[in-house]
A and B are shown apart, each in its own frame.
Chain A
Amino acid sequence: MATEEALSNGNETDWSDRYYHIDQILDKPGPRTDPSFLAGEEVKRFLRETCKILVIGAGGLGCEILANLALSGFKDIHVIDMDTIDISNLNRQFLFRPKDVGKSKAIVAAEFIMNRVPGVKVTPYFGRIQDKDEEYYMQFNLVICGLDSVEARRWINATLVHMVDPDEPESLKPLIDGGTEGFKGQARVILPTVTSCYECSLDMLNKQTAFPICTIANTPRLPEHCIEWASVLEWPRVFKDKKMDTDDPEHIGWLYKTASSRAKEFKIEGVTWSLTQGVVKNIIPAIASTNAIIAASCCNEAFKIATSSAAYLNNYFMLIGTDGVYSFTFEHQKRDDCPVCGGQAITVNVSKEWTLERLIEMLVEKQDVQIKKPSLATPKRQLYFQAPPQLEELTRPNLEKTLSELVDDGEYITVTASSLPFDLTLQVKYD
């Protein structure tokens, strides 16, 4: 199959005209192409022989991303995913077949791509992104994320921002992030420390519906209230320390049955298996078409950044596909008080009569902070620590105290949480 021309490129799997389509773009600039674009062999060689790209997530977006990158000419692709394949993935994660259920997404996806697209090397890692250190992330030219977890996105974003060394241009790894929900989605380009980062836009996330515990316990009205009662209150009461596994059909079955009997008792209609699963797993609807659009946008940006063949997205593309096709492209602004890339402390205006516990509740609720189980300290004292148990016990009495007993006006509080790879600095101002 290999022609002389292909062999002269040092790449035996490239057949003549393999890149007929893409080379139309790489052989000459367009009217909006930056003058720094070096059309021709050099850019092709970089893309096909040198460039190393990391894909985080081999699910709905990840499968699409891997296929697009492979066809675009990226040949050294790495992919990380900690999940295994479930039957409910098969309506969109098109590299998987029923026989693959239960296997690692990263490994199956990598093998599929290598079989289908000759000459592309895909290196899978079946595990968590947190298992890898900065040295690992430093080897890539670009990172693309197709994740459904806010926590994982915050982690990789903070890690890449932290890696930037102003004296080493190579340490700045462009991060392209995609996300979808039903017919909606977004794709964005993050140049760590240069553009707005993932943390800067945390307040754009939809707030999750949380049902007040008193409604769940005393005045259920919706089927969701009955399901929450079964999972939040009844499960721990009946099974004590046994961990609920929302992927286990028996566990879902028990919750469904328990929620149904409560609903019956209160004459509430609408508890179904599907709703039970949806509520306890916080299922987000997902379809192949939206994933295809968003993944294609992400890969298009990766291609443009890797080749300079066209300007890249500055910096946010948002899509709503429910009523016709509506999209909005805009520059999301950096936040000066972004705890990851901003450097300035977040100011919180509170009453000095507040207890420490109330301040912690506010932090958990706050849209631009979204921190779970935070530990707090001032330079002078430990305010409250979630762990270890001895320290927790020691600092627990502070929860009841008013802020004015613990913190001076204008003083800084450092907030940490095990889920986040960075500290948050708050400046307390009393009303």
Chain B
Amino acid sequence: MSAVSESQDIEQATAAIQPPDNKTRRYDRQLRLWAASGQNALEASSVLVLSSSATLTAVLKNLVLPGIGHFTILDSAVASPADAGNNFFLAGPSSIGKPRAQEATSLLRELNDSVEGEAILKDVGEYLKTDEGRAFISSFSLVITHNLRKDTLDELSRFLWAGFNNPPLMVVRSAGFLAEFFIQYHEQCVAQPHTDENVPSLRIVRPFPALTKWASELDLDSLDPTEHGHVPFVIILVKAVGEWKDSHDGKLPSTMPERKEFKEHVVAMRKKIDEENFDEAEAQAWRIWSDPPVPNAVQSLLTLTPLTTSMSPNTPNAIFHALLQTLNAFVAAPNGPGCLPLSGALPDMRTDTESYVKLQTAYKERAAFEKARFKELLKEGFPALAPTIDGEEIDTFVKNAHHVRVLRGQRWSEWDADKEALASSLSSSPRETATHLALSALSTILNKTPDGSTVTVEALRTEVQKLVGEGVELPEEIGSAIGELARAPTADLPNTAAFLGGMVAQEAIKVITKQYVPVNGYCVIDMVDMWTGTICG
């Protein structure tokens, strides 16, 4: 059986095999999550953070370790004794009095030789008022702030929001045990959401010719018991559906009794009680009534109007929208399958090697055929854009066509001006909304007195009331949140910073790789009762 000879030593047998290089080995545990495509996107990215607080160095740590391309810390502050006490990326008391960004940059760079990092000792507020500063800030893939002064943050968010090509902005706020973050983006198109591990449609109800041929030529009665026990469940179901349709005016089983009857029909097809392939066919029968041509969530994307009319390759998401529109054309094409293209994936099933490989080949060939059709439609619909699109990007899109997601966002703090929305959220998600409002109130007060000396429960409550409107009664959750903020208005706690460092980096990785689904709205965190929640999504 084995091609490896019997009398061997390992060294000889493996002489020609090269283990993976050091880079692949270093990143092995994350490549299993986002693969080489995600890694390439990370390595091509550059991230700007506007402060070297404990929270933002924690975020950077979790971006430098997996290997982003470049980071810049823009921060004019000098490390204080308090900074030296709560920031792991300062060298303790010896950093005190030195430029904070510079100290942090050198300790962060130690984490990964392949990441570039620089410190720019400028004041964000002033830099933002210059053309040079604005051009610099918008040249990054992503900008992240933490407890940035409200005035500056407003200016920054308006500036970045104004340009469709500008990078997303992540806004992080925290005090003591409470925190939140928000990602400002116009649109996030997620080609690989990794949200559903189930293999999508197997086309059992819309079989392609190879499946139909196999099922119709199959004479179950003529098979010997071993062969009978190895017929793949897909073929059993295609055959059973065909038989059902023949006796039901071409209709599929739809009512509960019909579904039950269909399953009984499948079970009756088996020869012996212990044929696992037939058990599998019965268990997978749901695929027959849960296989729409296009899943609802994707259907609404097929006719989604892009946010901009520009379809140049440099316009963010232009390619994704071209692919979505092509998908729409593919589904509508009279000579097509009338559904999303086949992914080509096949789950494992009870069958013999030969049948499985044959079935797998049939799925792969069909998927390749439909992908070729898709590419033709893409070329017809977008003659200028199509040649610029990377083949791998099309492959990924088609493979994930059943799961792709589009998120649309809003400008930072726009929500805080919508009194009606705040009041409604306060009653539907009181603790999350209360914490968000308390943090907004704190930002307003700290804008005037950054040292926190004027933060009191009363002052916070007044600000919260202003936000939601005078008539709105504040729930008790407001008291819990503002009391906690009044206790520690300027505390960047090591554990809260580390928690945010993980959360914000995770979301940054999703935005950069376009894999997994980023937060849409305000993600609020309470580390007293230890919960998180997302509002305004």
Contacts and interface: CB of A to CB of B under 8 A. Distances in A.
A310 interface: yes
Residue of A22, A28, A117 most packed against chain B (CB within 10 A): A22
A57 B177 CA distance: 26
Contacts of B66: 91-92, 287-289
B300 interface: no
Contact of B483 (A30, A91, A222): A30
B502 A293 contact: yes
B353 A266 contact: yes
B85 A21 contact: yes
Nearest to A292: B502
A324 B81 contact: no
B487 A313 contact: no
Contact of B353 (A25, A219, A323): A219
B58 A292 contact: yes
A265 B357 CA distance: 12
A291 B489 CA distance: 27
Given A21-B86, A87-B25, A296-B496, A324 B520 contact: yes
Interface stretch (A161-169, A267-275, A375-383): A267-275
Given A21-B86, A88-B26, A297-B530, A285 B351 contact: no
A139 to B, nearest CB: 24
Given A287-B30, A322-B195, A324-B520, A254 B81 contact: no
A266 B484 contact: no
A321 B506 contact: yes
Contacts of B328: none
B211 interface: no
A366 interface: no
A310 B66 CA distance: 34
Nearest to A93: B65
A347 to B, nearest CB: 29
A67 B88 contact: yes
Residue of A222, A234, A273, A325 most packed against chain B (CB within 10 A): A325
Interface range for A = 35 or more
A221 B30 contact: no
Contacts of B509: 287, 289
Contact of B495 (A72, A256, A289): A72
Given A21-B85, A21-B86, A295 B506 contact: no
A181 B394 CA distance: 29
A254 B14 contact: yes
Contacts of B88: 67, 71, 116-117
Given A288-B65, A296-B496, A71 B86 contact: yes
Interface in B478-513: 479-480, 483-484, 487-499, 501-503, 505-507, 509
A24 interface: yes
Residue of A1, A289, A294 most packed against chain B (CB within 10 A): A289
A311 B529 contact: yes
A265 B2 CA distance: 9
B84 interface: yes
Given A15-B81, A32-B480, A254 B13 contact: yes
B200 interface: no
Nearest to B89: A116
A323 B534 CA distance: 12
Contact of A267 (B22, B58, B85, B357): B357
Interface in A4-56: 15-22, 24-25, 28-32
Nearest to A90: B26
B190 to A, nearest CB: 10
Contacts of B87: 71
Nearest to B194: A322
A342 interface: no
Contacts of B62: 288-289, 292
B523 interface: yes
Contacts of B65: 90-92, 94, 288
B6 A183 contact: no
Residue of A71, A97, A268 most packed against chain B (CB within 10 A): A71
B153 interface: no
A182 B25 contact: no
B487 A29 contact: yes
B483 A324 contact: no
B50 to A, nearest CB: 19
B469 interface: no
Contacts of A293: 499, 502-503, 506
Contacts of A221: 348-349, 351, 353, 356-357
B483 A25 contact: no
Contacts of A30: 176-177, 483-484, 487-488, 528
A118 interface: yes
B491 A64 contact: no
A325 B85 contact: no
Contact of B85 (A18, A257, A303): A18
A144 to B, nearest CB: 12
Given A25-B491, A30-B484, A321-B506, A274 B31 contact: yes
A286 B66 CA distance: 11
Given A221-B353, A222-B348, A262-B1, A311 B85 contact: no
B22 A87 contact: yes
A257 B357 contact: no
B193 interface: yes
Contact of A253 (B17, B483, B489): B17
Interface stretch (A190-198, A244-252, A388-396): A244-252
Contacts of B453: none
Contacts of A284: 29
Contact of A21 (B27, B32, B82, B91): B82
A261 B25 CA distance: 24
Given A18-B84, A287-B66, A234 B2 contact: yes
Nearest to B527: A300
B110 interface: yes
Contacts of A250: 10-11, 14
A278 interface: yes
Residue of B6, B85, B489, B502 most packed against chain A (CB within 10 A): B502
A290 interface: yes
A333 interface: no
B176 A24 contact: yes
Contacts of B352: 219
Given A87-B25, A296-B495, A183 B483 contact: no
Contacts of A234: 2, 4
Contacts of B383: none
B92 A182 contact: no
A21 B491 contact: yes
A268 B81 contact: no
B532 A325 contact: yes
Nearest to B509: A289
Given A30-B484, A324-B519, A1 B93 contact: yes
Closest 9 CB pairs of A and B: A292-B502, A31-B483, A20-B82, A253-B14, A293-B502, A261-B3, A71-B494, A296-B498, A296-B499
17 contacts: A25-B493, A32-B480, A71-B88, A72-B494, A91-B67, A220-B353, A234-B2, A257-B4, A257-B14, A287-B29, A288-B502, A289-B503, A299-B494, A299-B498, A300-B495, A303-B495, A324-B520
Interface of B: 1-4, 6, 8, 10-11, 13-14, 17, 19-20, 22, 24-33, 54, 58, 61-62, 65-67, 80-82, 84-88, 91-93, 96, 110-112, 176-177, 193-195, 230, 348-349, 351-353, 356-357, 479-480, 483-484, 487-499, 501-503, 505-507, 509, 516-520, 523, 527-534, 537
Given A288-B505, A297-B530, 13 more contacts: A25-B177, A71-B88, A87-B26, A90-B112, A94-B61, A116-B91, A253-B19, A268-B353, A274-B32, A287-B509, A323-B193, A323-B516, A325-B534
Interface of A: 1, 15-22, 24-25, 28-32, 64, 67-68, 71-72, 87-88, 90-92, 94, 97, 116-118, 182-183, 187, 219-222, 234, 238-239, 249-254, 256-258, 261-262, 264-268, 273-274, 277-278, 283-297, 299-301, 303-304, 310-311, 313, 317, 319, 321-325, 327, 329
